[in-house]
Amino acid sequence: MYPLRRTIYTVPMNRIYAYLRASTKEQDANRGRKALEDFTQNASRSVSSWFEENESGAILKRPELFRLLEIAQQGDILLVEQVDRISRLGTQDWELLKSIITTKGIAVVALDLPTSYQFMKIDSDEFTKRMLVAINSMMLDMLAAVARKDYEDRRRRQAEGIKKAKNLGKYKGRRINHNLHENITALLNSGKSYNAIVSLLGCSKSTISKIAKSNPRI
C-alpha cells in the first residue's frame, strides 16, 4: 500500500494597492500613509505598492489612480484613507469609475467604510463575499455622493465669499506667487520642457502655459 498523499490547497494573498491623493501641490498627499500602514499591519497584511498624486478628486483624469487600476488584477484591493480620496466626482464620472473598478473585480477598502474591512480577509465563503460586495457597493455610492455634495457646498461658499468681497471692494483675486513665476520664466528661457519644470518646481502645466503665453519673449 502506498501512503496517502495529502494535498494542501492554499488561497493566494490578494495584493493591496494603496492610493494617496491631495487636491493641490501645496497639500501633502502622503499625510495619510501612516494611517494606512497601521491599518494593514493590524490586519496582518502589507501594501504591495503605493500610488500618490496631487489632483482634484472632482476630475476623472488622474494618472496615478488609473495606473493603479491598470496594474491591479481581479481580487486585488484598492486601499484608501477615505472614499473621497478616490471620488468627489459627479454622478456620470463616478458611475464610469465604479464600472471600471467593478469590471476588473477590484475591492475598495476605505478606513471610513467599516463594511469594506472584510475584504482584507481571504477565508470568506462565496455567499459572504457576494453579500459584502452588494453592501459595500451601496455604501460606496452613499459616501461618494456625500463627498460630491461636500465639494459642491465648499465651491458654493467660496463663490459666495468672493462675490461678497467684490461687492465690498475687498476682493483682490488670487495672490500671485512672483517667485514661482520668475523661476518658471527662467527655466523656460533656458529651454527646459514643461515636464522638467513640473518635476523641479512642483507646479502645474497650466500655470507654466499661462506664464509662457503672457511673456512674448519666451
Which listed residue (23, 48, 56, 204) is catalytic? 23
3-state secondary structure of 52: strand
32/53 Cα distance (integer angstroms): 12
Q: What angle do CA 12, 18, 21 make, to 5 degrees?
A: 165
3-state secondary structure of 168: coil
- Indicate the residue type of 66: F
149/21 Cα distance (integer angstroms): 19
Task: Compute the CA torsion angle 102, 107, 111, 113 (nearest 10 deg).
Answer: 60
* CA 111 to the chain's CA centroid: 14
116 catalytic, yes or no?
A: no
Compute the half-sphere exposure of residue 126: CA atoms within 13 Å on the CB side of its CA: 0
Q: Which residues are catalytic?
A: 23
